[in-house]
Amino acid sequence: MRAADMDRQLNIQAKFSIGQVVRHRFHPFRGVIYDVDPEFGNTEDWWLSIPEDKRPRKDQPYYHLLAENETTYYHAYVSEQNLVPDETGDPVDHPEVDDYFDELTDGQYQWDAINRH
């Protein structure tokens, strides 16, 4: 990695944190963040599969979520520009939440120190 690339990565600040409950700005799902990439880290095919007029920038944090909607649970990979804080205070019902986190307090899950990945 070039020095300029390293400097750019170090200067990218994530708006959301691991354990925070968020929802998608446009699509009807919410979830808890369990990992953060400082900038896009998925495949080019994945990125190109998003319609061009809705495709997010690559030079921003991307979040790994334990996600849920009204019908299912799944893992989601979402750009920072497409997330907003979830203000409901409701827990995320995803079956893997207990693998990563302890209790939910004020919209923030606490890391499970014993099962931490």
Question: Residue 107's pLDDT band (boundaries 50, 70, 90)?
Answer: confident
Task: Considering the domain delimited by 17-111, tell me its CATH architecture.
Answer: Roll (2.30)
Q: What is the DSSP letter of 98?
A: H
Largest CA distance in the chain: 45
Q: Which residue has the tokens 């750009």?
A: 79
The predicted-structure confidence for 59-83, as pLDDT tens digits, reads as follows 999 999 999 999 999 999 999 999 9
Tell me which residue has tokens 């990979």.
77
Tokens of residue 50, six digits: 């998003």
* Residue 27 binned pLDDT confidence (cut-offs 50, 70, 90): very high
Q: Where are the beta strands (DSSP E) in the chain?
A: 21-24, 30-37, 62-68, 73-79, 83-85, 101-105, 108-111
- The pTM score is 0.85
Residue 32 has pLDDT above 90, yes or no: yes
The strand pair at 101-105 and 62-68 is best described as unpaired
Strand partners, 68: 30, 73
The full set of domain ranges for the chain reads: 17-111
pLDDT band at 111 (very low <50, low <70, confident <90, very high): confident
pLDDT in tens, 4-21: 444 444 456 899 999 999
